[in-house]
Amino acid sequence: MTKVKVCGIRREEEARWAIEAGADAVGFVFADSKRRIDVESAARISASLPAHIWKIGVFVNESKEKLKEIYRTVNLDYVQLHGDESVFFAEDLDLPYIKVISVKEKEDIYGIDQCPGGIILLDSGKGPYRGGNGTTFNWDYVDAGSFPQQLILAGGLNPDNVREAITKVRPYMVDVSSGVETDGRKDRLKIESFIREAKSV
C-alpha cells in the first residue's frame, strides 16, 4: 500500500487531521514558501506526533549548520533537500535525507538510479517556488518500478488524480500539499479524501 505524506503543515490540528486520516508522514517547510513554519512551532507540533509518523523538514540551499540544528530541535526523521544541493553535500550531512529532482523534461530523471541515498522525490519543475506549486509533470516520463531507491511522487496531486498517479508511477509514497487546501489552508475533508483514494489503490 502506498504511503502518504501531507506537507506544508502549519497548525497542530492539520497534523492531527492527517494522522487520523491515515497519513504516514508530515512535512514542515523551512524554506521560502507561503507554507513556511517557524522552528519553534514545528518543534511543538512534532512533539505531539506518534513515534511512527515520519517528520520531514523541507529545505532549499540551507547551510549544513542550520540543517543540523533544525533537525535536532524539531526531532526530524528526514531532511528534504529541495534546492541545488549536490550529492556530496547530502552525503556529507550525515543525516537521513530525501533528494528532490525537479522534473520538466524526461531527461531530468536520467541517471537518478545511480544517485546514492535511499529516497528520491520527483516534483514538478513549474512554479514560483521549489515545491508546493500545485502543478504536475508528465508521469509517463517515469519508468514505473525501475528505481532502486524508494520513490516519492509529488507535484499537483489531489484527490481526483492520485489514483491515476499511483497506478502509473507506483511510488513508495505520494506527497500532497496544495491539493488538500482550500483558500490556502489545509482542508480536513480534502485530506481525508486524498488519503482514502491513495490507500485504496
Contacts for 128 with CB less than 8 Å, ≥ 6 apart:
none
Residue 107, classed as helix, strand or coil, is helix
Determine which one of 7, 24, 77, 84 is catalytic. Answer: 7
Would residue 126 be called left, alpha or beta, if left means φ above 0 and alpha means ψ between -120 and 50 degrees?
A: beta
Q: Is 115 a catalytic site residue?
A: no
Q: Is 7 a catalytic site residue?
A: yes
Asked whether 16 and 201 are in contact (CB, 8 A), the reply is no
Determine which one of 84, 123, 140, 187 is catalytic. Answer: 123
DSSP letter (8 states) at residue 84: S
Rounded to whole angstroms, the Cα distance separating 168 from 143 reads 9
Kindly list the catalytic residues: 7, 123
